[in-house]
Amino acid sequence: MATDTTVLKKKDFQSDQEVRWCPGCGDYAILSALQTVMPELGIPKERLVVISGIGCSSRFPYYMNTFGFHTIHGRAPAIATGLKTSRPDLEVWVITGDGDALSIGGNHLIHALRRNVNLKILLFNNRIYGLTKGQYSPTSEVGKRTKSTPVGSIDTPFDPVSVALGAGASMVARSVDIFQKHLKETLRRVAEHSGSAFVEILQNCNIFNDGAFSYLTDKEQREAEGLYLEHGQPLVFGPEGARRGLRLDPTSLRLENVALGDGVEAEDCLVWDENRPDPALAFLLAQCRPPEYPTALGVLRRVERPTYDGAVVEQIAQQQERRGTGTLEELLYSGETWQVAADGSIRR
């Protein structure tokens, strides 16, 4: 019997397991946001499955009172693909981190996204390896000093959102662990999407990479550094009195960060259209970095395209329609067969 979804509360999604992240870790806020949003989705909780890889963030399924699978390093999208493809009735959420999804599991992430498997993939980006106690990650900035880069990292980092856009993800978003309202709203929107939805959640690891995003998350910075995307609205940001906007220079195809007023108005700025079929503008926005640019938060892309799991089901149904559902007899007694009779005579 399915659970009555009307009575579900946040606590119904909390498991009996003691949460074991470091005190102050950004993961707590993300867990809380998801546990808050889940009851609102109207989905019986037995139909929710949370799948993770390895890393601090990947402990997540243990704390959700749903079906959960804590798998192996980097492979969560592949395991989730198998589950969702064979069980399209389930809602499958993948929890991963920057190391899990972009280093060891990079291949699975991009392929799940290009196939458009109907998965919700939350990547907690703390720009560090936490569980293994502080090595640089594929999102760590050049020059980062960590245990494995004592004189500074020389690797060029990935921008997770750009990777997802490059892989052709049908929905891509970015949010921040402690921006609870924004995060919950992003999660709600993601839950509604049919197809792969990828969310980069900027997450503070207060033990090994404290303050990695303080340029954005510090109270006084939030307005100046955060560009909160709204579909159909111009790309404007900044506190009252210091409003700015992003304007597209048609000749260089670059975004210009301009101060509003003095003849430049919000109307002159690029109007955000998250449904644009081509990802070029989303890509430009994803690449916006401080200090030159604000950080784009919210939905960077949302387009409709057929889901992989849906197409698999459809193809099987089509084949069954055309050829019937088959019997074992038909299966085995197919191809070229011949009969040997008791007298040794042979017939085709």
The residues binding other proteins (CB under 8 A) are 1-3, 15, 17, 44-47, 49, 51, 61-62, 64-72, 75, 78-87, 89-90, 107-108, 111, 312, 315-316, 319-320, 322-326, 328-329, 331-342, 344, 346, 348
Which of 55/279 has CB closer to ligand SF4? 55
- Restricted to residues 83-102, the positions that interact with ligand SF4 (CB under 6 A) are none
List the structure tokens of 80: 């989730």
Cα–Cα distance for residue pair 26/125, rounded to 1 Å: 10
- Restricted to residues 122-141, the positions that interact with ligand SF4 (CB under 6 A) are 126, 130
Burial 197-216, CB ≥16 within 10 A → b, else e: bbbbbbbbbbbbbeebbeeb
The one segment of 148-156, 172-180, 203-211, 243-251 that binds ligand SF4 by CB under 6 A: 203-211
Which of 51/187 has CB closer to other proteins? 51
Query: What is residue 279's DSSP assignment?
Result: -
Q: Are strands 48-52 and 346-347 parallel, antiparallel or unpaired?
A: unpaired
Cα–Cα distance for residue pair 66/217, rounded to 1 Å: 31
First CA to last CA distance, the chain: 53
Among 207, 248, 258, 270, binds ligand SF4 (CB under 6 A): 207
Which of 81/196 has CB closer to other proteins? 81
The one segment of 18-26, 41-49, 68-76, 180-188 that binds ligand SF4 by CB under 6 A: 18-26
Residues 6+ apart with CB under 8 A from 345: none
Residues 6+ apart with CB under 8 A from 252: none
Among 205, 227, 284, 286, binds ligand SF4 (CB under 6 A): 205
Binding site residues, ligand SF4, CB under 6 A: 21-22, 25, 27, 56, 126, 130, 205-208
